[in-house]
Chain A
Amino acid sequence: MLNKVPGLKKTIRARAKGHINIRPTSEAMLELVTLLFLNSLAEEAKTRAFEDKSATIRSNHIRDVSKKLLKKARG
């Protein structure tokens, strides 16, 4: 959070199908969106790890959580 998301604008523009511009303000909002997503992802993964009685988050925890979260983040 204290750092910028490097190359976020570029990635979004790259992945957009057509030509699109991005305002600096919306750029900040994009960062917000990604941060929120990461936050919820981390939270869910943490819970999932707890269920597995593991204090460390591992890749399988995240993978289990990801699908649901991605669906939720579809908007």
Chain B
Amino acid sequence: MDNTEDLSARFILGQILSTEIPRTPMIPSGSTQAPSSSGTRRSSRISGRDAGAQTPTDIVRHSMRRRISQSITQKSQPAPRRTAPFVRRKPRSSASMLFDDEQSPRILLKNILMTENVKSPLVHEKTPSGEPEPPLASSSTTNTHHSIELSDLDLSDLTVGNVISTAKGLNRKRPRRSLNVTAFEKRLRGADAEAEERSNEASSDISSLSLSSSTSLSLKTPFVDVGTERKGLQRKVSQRRKITEEEFGAAVDKQQITGGTRFLPGKQDLSDTTHCEGFTLGLSKLSEPDVTTDILHCNTALYPQPDAITSDLSVMATQDKLTVAASQIQKDLEEREESMRESEEELNKVQSQAEEEGDVPDDVSQRENEAVSRSEEEVIVSGINAEEEEGTADSEAQENIEAEVVVFDFQEEVVESESQEEVVVFESQEEVVVFESQEEVFESDSQEEVVESESQQEVVESESQQEVVESESQEEVVESESQEEVVESESQEEVVESESQEEVVESESQEEVVESESQEEVVESESQAEVVESESQEEVVESESQEEVVESESQEEAVAASDSDEDEDASQTSNKESSSFHPEPDHRADPESVADGEEHVDKAEHPSEDYPTDFKPRATMDSSSQFEEDGITSGSNKDDGKTERQRSERLDSNLELISRRSCQSEGALVVPIVQEEDLDKAREGLSEVKSKDLGSNLEMEGDENMVEPSNPEQSDASDTEDEEYPTEFSPEEEEDEEDISSKTPAFVRAKRNFFIPDPSDSPTVFKDNQASGTTQAVPAAKPKRARQVKKRSTARKALPKSYLMTVFRHFAKTKVASDVYPVLDEIMDKFFDRLADDLETYAAHAKRTTIDVEDVVLLLKRQGYVNDKVPVEVLIEKYLRMDQRRLLIPIATSGNVVIPKIRK
């Protein structure tokens, strides 16, 4: 330090050069020139490379540089071949620097090698010392040409000489191959011959060396051709040997010319490979090439499907737990619902069976069950129905009636609900055909009808009617009443089945009507009139007036109620009844009406509604209702043993009839006509089924017989309007009680023709009633229609099951459980909603009211089905049928003439 001041630049440089390792990039491929530190280098060769590589590398560089300069000048000193690998390894960091040389070290070395004749690896007898210089010198000098096997230019075998020269003990790495000395020598000689030019001395040395070393020497590369001298420059990695520290040191010492060139490639290779590997790894991680392409293409549309799908999958996978839980919950709910439904169905079935057997209690229970089941299913109606139905369940007769009556109030709701499943369908007033299962219908009718029929009282009446039926006189009356409702259906004979009464249209089965009271049909629209009637009926029930009287009254009421157009039959019967029993009903109507009113008020809302409308015809309606009720009561009195179902049915049917009459208007006639027809058919069908019930209803049949005559009478009057009914009916009614039942069929039949306006026959009173009834019927019909329409729309599915399932199976290509249909349906529902919404928006955006092809194409694009890769046409070709394709894509005909279809 003290000398620093005095030191001249030169001195300093010299010092630096000698002592410190200059950090110069010019150092050739770090041919280790730091023999002094070679030992350390070697020991810490690896570490030295990375960490303290600077020092040793610098040393090496410095030494190498000097060597080069020396060699260039001297050109005599052999250029010891440094072990290229070692050299390569050492100054890896400097490898890059080496390239910065003016000349690539490789080229430099090559030149050197070319010029240098003698290049023989020194045989180090001593371990390379840490001194750079002496070992270098020694190495250089002592290097023999033993490494003849190595080309002079082959620096990779730099340490060959060292290996050979170094002490064997130090030679850590021994060639595994045993060497054939003779062969080796021969080769050497051969090589020597080639290399004679270069090194005669070397040859001798080589030979000597080879000889000397043949035994002791373990050559790693025994077969090294001289011709491979050139190859030495070829960087044969295969020939590369691992170099020990000693070797390295020796090589460094020997080497005068930096063979740094050798170092680079190896290192480079390694680095390159590592880099490449890393790079490739990174590339392989790219999962969404489409994204990049999309970005490149500035395609901002949604990702193409495969990506989405994959992403979806991943998302789905993640969502699995949640969805599974949700699905499970849904499953549970569904299961519950299904179970409920099943139970309901079972109940219905049971009920139907019970009906056949005519077990009243069963019916009641069944009804209850039905009601309960229904209520569960249907929110709105269910709540109401449940109450009502439950109520009905509690009280067999009256209670049921009441409940039903209450239910009537919610006709609309009930209608919807009822329409939903099972027998309830029957109730769907529109669906007269419900008679599918009379039995079921019967029960359901009683309830459903109640619901549907707005007139709660009808229920009462129906029930009462049923009761009436039981009693001969009552039966007739009831039947007539029920027939009135049933009048729509002229299947009087089926009266026994009465269940069909609901369809009532068939008045013939008045007897049956009473039973069936397919109140279900209840003409439904009868709300108002029915209400009144029901009220009266209720009263009747309560009053339990004489059967006959009741019947008559009910009949009259029925007649009166028949103002409504819907139920010609019913109206006929009612009218007839009313007219015929005019005196009687009047007598009874009052108390009954009062009673009805009372009952009615309690029960349903409809009554309140019906009151104002039914006001006028109420008188007659009441009578009719009373009739029904009376019939019911009488029936109940008489036929306790009879199936309560029948009673209920009758009541229901009566009520329905009445309701129909009252509510039906001319406009509504259309509907009831249809219904009647249906009812007729259904009735006929039911009649067969009900034949079984007939057995149980034999008692009633007797009464029904009475109805039959009345029915024919009614049929006679069928041509006439309701007004005719009273005239026709009156004589019938005037007949025996038993005749009443027989009358009803005729009446019912007559009622059918009610639609034909024929005011001539109707008495003035009735006319008035009719007028009012018609007017009332009209509004009643409208809501009925609206209800019907609504029912259709809500229940309508977008796609039929068969189509949906076939298409789905086709696309799925795996097995598909059939329970997927409901889920699929829901999904398609939502899909269509969205589809329509979107398309509409697009069209509106284009100020059009027509959905065009381009709208749909735009939608497809936005959804991602169509993009740059997948044009629309491809999809069209793929999925659509020929006729559709022809629509969308102009095709070339066989005459090679393109005829584009003219798009409208």
Residues of A within 8 A of B (CB): 1-3, 5-8, 11-26, 28-49, 51, 55-60, 62-70, 72-75
- Contact status B851-A23, CB under 8 Å: yes
Q: How far is the CA of A72 from the CA of B851 in the complex (A)?
A: 21
Task: Determine the chain A residues whose CB is within 8 A of the CB of B313 once the complex forms.
Answer: 44, 47
CB closest chain-B residue, reference A75: B862
Contacts of B807 in A (CB 8 A): 1, 35, 38
CB distance from B168 to the nearest CB of A (A): 66
| A64 and B327 contact, CB distance less than 8 A | yes
Among candidates B309, B319, B799, B817, residue contacting A57 with C-beta atoms closer than 8 Å: B817
List residues of chain B with CB within 8 A of the CB of A33: 835, 856, 859-860
Q: How far is the CA of A51 from the CA of B319 in the complex (A)?
A: 12
| Contact assessment for A64 and B320 in the assembled complex, using a CB-CB cutoff below 8 Å | yes
Contacts of A65 in B (CB 8 A): 312, 316
Residues in A with CB closer than 8 Å to B888 are: 25, 28-29
Q: What chain B residues lie within 8 Å of A51 (beta carbons)?
A: 316-317, 320
Decide: A23 and B852 in contact? CB cutoff 8 A.
yes
A58–chain B nearest beta-carbon distance, Å: 5
B residues 325-359 touching A (CB-CB < 8 Å) = 326-328, 330-331
16 A-B pairs whose Cβ atoms sit less than 8 Å apart in the complex: A1-B881, A11-B799, A12-B836, A12-B851, A18-B840, A25-B903, A26-B855, A31-B879, A32-B876, A34-B835, A48-B316, A57-B812, A64-B316, A67-B323, A70-B831, A75-B859
Q: B169 CB to closest chain A CB, in angstroms?
A: 66
On chain A, the residues within 8 Å of B865 by CB distance are 36
- Which B residues, 852 to 884, have Cβ-Cβ distances below 8 Å to chain A? 852-853, 855-860, 862-865, 875-876, 879-881, 884
Question: What residues on B are CB-neighbors of A8 within 8 Å?
Answer: 799
Extra pairs beyond A34-B835, A36-B879 (14, CB < 8 Å): A1-B879, A6-B803, A17-B840, A18-B849, A21-B850, A23-B852, A23-B904, A26-B851, A28-B887, A32-B876, A56-B815, A59-B822, A63-B323, A75-B863
Please, how many angstroms separate the alpha-carbon atoms of A14 and B323 in the complex? 32
B771 proximal to A (CB < 8 A): no
Kindly provide the distance from the CB of B857 to the nearest chain A CB, expressed in whole angstroms.
7
B390 to chain A, nearest CB (A): 33
Partner of B827, one of A11, A26, A66: A66
A62 to B456, CA, bound (A): 46
**Given A36-B860, A56-B814, A62–B820 Cβ distance below 8 Å?**
yes
Residues of B contacting A74 with CB < 8 Å?
Answer: 834, 838, 863
B596 to chain A, nearest CB (A): 43
Task: Please provide the 5 A-B residue pairs with the shortest distance between their CB atoms, ordered closest to farther.
Answer: A42-B811, A29-B856, A28-B884, A75-B862, A64-B323
The answer on a CB contact under 8 Å between B832 and A11 is: yes
Q: B residues near A, CB below 8 A? A: 302, 305, 308-309, 312-313, 315-317, 319-320, 323-324, 326-328, 330-331, 793, 798-800, 803, 806-808, 810-817, 819-820, 822-824, 827-828, 830-840, 843-844, 849-853, 855-860, 862-865, 875-876, 879-881, 884-885, 887-888, 903-904
Q: A30-B835, A33-B859, A51-B317 are in contact. Are A22 and B850 (CB under 8 A)?
A: yes
Residues B800 and A12 in contact, CB atoms below 8 Å apart: no
A40 vs B816: C-alpha distance when bound (angstroms): 15
The secondary-structure label for the interface of chain A is helix
User: A residues within 8 A CB of B316?
Assistant: 44, 47-48, 51, 64-65, 68
Whole-angstrom CA separation of A72 from B798 in the bound complex = 20
Contact check: which of A17, A31, A46, A63 meets B813 at CB < 8 Å?
A: A46
B327–A60 CB distance below 8 A: yes
Docked Cα-Cα span, A67 to B850, in Å, equals 29
Contacts A5-B799, A44-B309, A74-B838; A59 near B903 (Cβ below 8 A)? no
Using CB atoms, name the residue of chain A closest to B876.
A32
Residue from B326, B831, B849 in contact with A21 in the complex, judged by beta carbons closer than 8 Å: B849
* B323 contact set on A, CB distance < 8 A: 60, 63-64, 67
A30 touches B849 (CB 8 A): no
Given contacts A6-B800, A28-B888, contact A59 B843 (CB under 8 A): no
Residues of B with C-beta under 8 A to A42: 808, 811-813
Count CB-based A-B contacts (< 8 Å). Answer: 219
| Chain A proximity of B793: nearest CB distance (Å) | 7
Residues of B with C-beta under 8 A to A48: 316
Question: How far does the Cβ of A46 sit from chain B's closest Cβ, in whole Å?
Answer: 5
Q: Which residues of A contact B832 (CB under 8 A)?
A: 11-12, 15
- Per the bound structure, the CA–CA distance linking A62 and B864 in Å amounts to 21
**Residues on B with beta carbons closer than 8 Å to the beta carbon of A11:** 798-799, 832, 836
**With the chains together, A64 CA to B322 CA distance in Å?**
9
B603: shortest Cβ distance to chain A, in Å?
37
CB distance from A29 to the nearest CB of B (A): 4
CA distance A46 to B809 in the complex (A): 10
How far, in angstroms, from A53 to B370 measured CA to CA in the complex? 41
Give CA–CA (A39, B309) in the complex, Å.
Answer: 12
**Closest residue of B by beta carbon distance from A12:** B836
How far does the Cβ of A42 sit from chain B's closest Cβ, in whole Å? 4
From A26, A38, A56, A64, contact of B808 by CB (8 A) = A38
Query: A38 to B887, alpha carbons, bound, how many Å?
Result: 22
**Distance of A8 Cα from B317 Cα, bound (Å):** 33
Set of chain B residues within 8 Å of A36, measured between Cβ atoms: 860, 863, 865, 875, 879
Nearest-neighbor residue (CB-CB) of B843 within chain A: A20
Q: Is the CB of B835 within 8 A of A20?
A: no
- Give A56's nearest chain B residue, CB to CB: B815
Give the Cβ gap from A1 to chain B, nearest Cβ, in Å: 6
A55 and B863 contact, Cβ closer than 8 Å, known pairs A1-B879, A60-B324: no
Shortest distance from the beta carbon of A31 to any chain B beta carbon, whole Å: 7
Contacts of A59 in B (CB 8 A): 817, 819-820, 822-823
Q: Which residues on B sit within 8 Å (CB–CB) of A15?
A: 832-833, 835-837
A44 to B855, CA, bound (A): 26
Q: How far is the CA of A65 from the CA of B811 in the complex (A)?
A: 15
Decide yes or no: A14 and B806 within 8 Å by CB, A32-B856, A70-B830, A72-B302 being known contacts: no
Q: Which B residue sits closest to A14, measured CB to CB?
A: B793
Across the interface, do A63 and B904 meet the contact criterion of CB distance under 8 Å? no
Minimum CB distance partner of A3 in chain B: B803
A48 to chain B, nearest CB (A): 6
Residue of A nearest to B883 (CB): A28
Which residues of chain A are near B808, meaning CB under 8 Å?
38, 41-42
Q: Are A68 and B820 in contact (CB under 8 A)?
A: no
Given contacts A1-B810, A21-B851, A68-B315, contact A31 B884 (CB under 8 A): yes
Inter-chain CA distance A46–B246, complex, in Å, is 68
The answer to whether B820 and A58 have CB atoms under 8 Å apart is yes
Other-chain contact of A23, B810, B828, B853, B857 (Cβ < 8 Å): B853
Q: Does the CB pair A28–B880 fall under 8 Å?
A: yes
* CB of B253, distance to nearest CB on chain A (Å): 68
What are the residues of chain B within 8 A of A75 when measuring CB–CB?
834, 838, 858-859, 862-863
- From known contacts A12-B835, A38-B808, infer whether A58 and B852 are also in contact, taking CB-CB under 8 Å: no
A31 lies within 8 A of B827 (CB): no
> Which residues from chain B contact A25 at a C-beta distance below 8 Å?
853, 887-888, 903-904
Residues of B within 8 A of A68 (CB): 312, 315-316, 319
Enumerate chain A residues within 8 angstroms of B824, measured Cβ to Cβ.
Answer: 62
Q: Give the distance in Å from the alpha carbon of A73 to the alpha carbon of B211 in the complex.
A: 86
Given contacts A23-B853, A26-B855, A33-B860, contact A70 B827 (CB under 8 A): yes
Nearest-neighbour CB distance to chain B for A17, whole angstroms, equals 6
> Which residue on chain B has the smallest CB distance to residue A24?
B887
CB distance from A54 to the nearest CB of B (A): 9
Q: A51-B320, A72-B863, A73-B831 are in contact. Are A5 and B811 (CB under 8 A)?
A: no
A17 to B883, CA, bound (A): 30
Knowing A16-B840, A23-B850, say if A60 contacts B862 (CB, 8 Å).
no
Q: List chain A residues, Cβ under 8 A from B810.
A: 1
Q: Looking at the assembled complex, report how far the CB atom of A57 sits from the nearest CB atom of chain B, in whole angstroms.
A: 5
Q: Flag if B881 contacts A70 (CB, 8 Å).
A: no
